[in-house]
Structure 1
């Protein structure tokens, strides 16, 4: 089922959104039969409760959606999405009770509740469809949902079908859809074009590494997104334990998020000059894999001592960031499933980000709150710079000691951006347990917040 709204018809069933506090007054205005049905079924307005009410002929008369209390709503998001999965087949229209300020978020959540990853197995579709609530820009919400679905599909696809060539094909399909230009630099051409660290990380794999470079828009400020596209990460010669390798199909989650955000930007026609750079590689093991203690020279000329081949994401991002910075855009944003330290710090639900720009922070935090897309600011803590300086080379890709892992990774990346405002997102890209509008599996993080923040940020 497509994650789109339906048109209002004579067959639309009214849906009343009722908080626990509002239920008594609402019931008082209903016929005795409706009041009795509500009581008999134990409907209290608790968050996520759903109740369908038929008329005397057994046809849908109305439906109720529990909206809980202010306290219960504060502990989650996409509350109507939980109702959507419980209602009988049909088309529903919000008739009352949904606060205007919640309409966009709840409508989006309903659409995303219809998502299922069905590439390899048929999935049960969502039976309940929604008419766009009054005042909601349906086309805009559908475009945002489509961007999120693109991100989810890319992450959920296993590496057998989502290697570097497949990720490039997905970017090319997106470029074709919106008339964007795209170039893909492959294999040894990366050396010719001076992307040595992208080539080094990906050279051990059967599927050649590549750099994807997509451009769209001819007016407005310049925004460059850089997404980590490690399509599978074995850890290289510092091989991961089996348990740690189990989710590594999602190590291209930064690239997936960047492409999903690009879809949102292009589909909603934001007035920006958008560029998306994705270093797409597999970190594999073979005789020509890069080794611990190797020293690599980056595109920027900085040398990097390899103290762990499993800290490869920052290496491929470094070359791409240096390339992005040469164009001096108005904003560079990198997105990556980069460190386990970020997950330990804030868990899977928050998107940690790094920025020293108070205007960026203000715009993003406001957008995150408005779009129910939570983020958490982390520090570019300058005193830790010495931790990424090994002495034998300019930089260390894996400082010893285990402290401040996500911060030292962000500081490493910042060394490759000197001409442009820069922000970095260390996302998880995975929903470990099903939640309303978010089934277990790949998920976008910070993309909706960034989409909402782009124009206020760039037009400062």
Structure 2
């Protein structure tokens, strides 16, 4: 396949197949302007203007395409994705208007994960022309960030362990001359004891680490992005079932989101002093694995009793959030595949958003709605914080009742964020079980675009 940069090109009058857009309400009026044979061709394809429909219409010795969309005047991110997936190789332009937001889905629809299974029969690129030349690079970058999350999450743990996650961070850092620092293995024990405890049972090849990256003018507002990087979660000694473990290669999805967001921030030149922190471990089982009932020290100075070794993500995030807070950032955003409770409440497509301030939530939710990356806010109820009480330590990592699991996990993280720091927590699934046009089954970015556009509105370059 052609490079992704080639999938959207500036419209300079090149030869291209026209794409006409209509919807169900406007289809009859659209069809009246066609010749009888053309109407018959669409009827034979059962095309009636419904969303994501694709029709091919003969036009003398040539042809044009017709796409069904919700609103031909206001295109959404994925409304052209089915066309990008199914049309023949070639160059296309909209018969009226410009793709604008729909450039995103045009690119993601043509991305496939081919690391282990090549598809030599895949069709060649479908190129879309746009008159918005100055926006093409930004649209490509955003789609590629989404694709990066998908590829990292789709990659199995043996090939996307802590060292590989570090390599991805280093690759992104090199693009922008960002500074990177990695603390790993037993050197974590004193400064980041929870990261060390969770990851110490893994083999040396998958040794735990904290990856930190810094970029930008030190005079600009400091923004920290934190991502949970559990490369594989066996559950530890509180071992998961086979079914529960099957998708646990995706438990580093928060790290993938954080790295992709850092790439977008630096690529857009946002006026921030960026601090990326990715605690990454494998939650393995061995003779030195941490145990239920252990009490862990933390960078914060609190002690944590382990109620469940399968609630490990909040532990590694705790040390990373403490480190992020020490530099007094204006804002901290973290991404984590943290709780099954969030998925029970909201399903796979809606990341749970928790914030200390209404303003933060409002900005993120508005950005998500504007860019087809919807979020749903869950509360951080102060009254539930007592469920984290421990009789022998400052707090427990797992409460003993089945209620409000996502919010209680958020309250645990809140203990490690500095006082008065603006903070947003995304409990995201990072996996799409049901494919949609432009959004295949597998690794998925949820909340990434919302966070980026919120930051862009605040700190635009």
Shorter-chain TM-score tier: over 0.9
Residue of structure 1 equivalent to 2:300: 300
SS at match of 2:88: coil
SS at match of 1:384: helix
Q: Is the 8 A contact 1:381 1:407 kept in 2?
A: yes
Q: Is the 8 A contact 1:47 1:69 kept in 2?
A: no
Residue of structure 2 equivalent to 1:64: 66
Q: Is the 8 A contact 2:381 2:407 kept in 1?
A: yes
1:288 aligns with 2:288: yes
Residue of structure 1 equivalent to 2:111: 115
SS at match of 1:6: strand
* Structure 2 counterpart of 1:46, from 35, 47, 50: 50
Instruction: Map residues 30-429 of structure 1 onto 2, 5 A cutoff.
Output: 30-57=34-61, 59=62, 61-68=63-70, 78-96=78-96, 103-123=99-119, 124-125=122-123, 127-132=125-130, 134=132, 137-192=135-190, 194-206=191-203, 207-218=206-217, 219-419=219-419, 420-429=421-430
Q: Is the 8 A contact 2:9 2:128 kept in 1?
A: yes
Q: Is the 8 A contact 2:10 2:131 kept in 1?
A: no
The CA RMSD measured in Å over matched residues stands at 2.1
SS at match of 1:79: coil
Instruction: Report how far residue 56 of structure 1 moved.
Output: 2.9
Q: How many residues align?
A: 449
Residue of structure 2 equivalent to 1:20: 24
CA deviation vs aligned residue, 1:263-299 (integer Å, no higher than 9, x gap)? 1111222111111100010000111101110001100
Q: Is the 8 A contact 2:24 2:48 kept in 1?
A: yes
Instruction: Report how far residue 85 of structure 1 moved.
Output: 1.6
Q: Is the 8 A contact 1:20 1:69 kept in 2?
A: no
Unaligned stretches of 5+ residues in structure 2:
none
How far apart, in 1, do the equivalents of 2:306 and 2:100 lie?
Answer: 47
SS at match of 2:333: strand
Q: Is the 8 A contact 2:270 2:459 kept in 1?
A: no
CA deviation vs aligned residue, 1:205-242 (integer Å, no higher than 9, x gap)? 00211000011111532110110000001111111111
How far apart, in 1, do the equivalents of 2:149 and 2:431 lie?
Answer: 11
How far apart, in 1, do the equivalents of 2:34 and 2:399 lie?
Answer: 67
Instruction: Report how far residue 457 of structure 1 moved.
Output: 4.2
Q: Is the 8 A contact 2:199 2:284 kept in 1?
A: yes
How far apart, in 2, do the equivalents of 1:362 and 1:302 lie?
Answer: 32
How far apart, in 1, do the equivalents of 2:234 and 2:124 lie?
Answer: 36
CA deviation vs aligned residue, 1:365-394 (integer Å, no higher than 9, x gap)? 110110000100010100001000112111
Residue of structure 1 equivalent to 2:9: 6
TM-score by length of 1: 0.93
Q: Is the 8 A contact 1:116 1:125 kept in 2?
A: no
Structure 1 residues 315 and 324: CA distance shift in structure 2, 3 A? same
CA deviation vs aligned residue, 1:305-326 (integer Å, no higher than 9, x gap)? 0011111100100000000000
Q: Is the 8 A contact 2:237 2:285 kept in 1?
A: yes
Instruction: Report how far residue 7 of structure 1 moved.
Output: 4.5
CA deviation vs aligned residue, 1:91-141 (integer Å, no higher than 9, x gap)? 111112x6x7xx433221111101110111113256432123547711110
How far apart, in 2, do the equivalents of 1:65 and 1:340 lie?
Answer: 37
Q: Is the 8 A contact 1:159 1:232 kept in 2?
A: yes
Instruction: Report how far residue 88 of structure 1 moved.
Output: 1.8
Greater Cα offset, 161-170 or 13-22: 13-22
Q: Is the 8 A contact 2:326 2:418 kept in 1?
A: no
How far apart, in 1, do the equivalents of 2:15 and 2:226 lie?
Answer: 46
Greater Cα offset, 158-167 or 119-128: 119-128
Greater Cα offset, 303-312 or 30-39: 30-39
Unaligned stretches of 5+ residues in structure 1:
none
TM-score by length of 2: 0.93
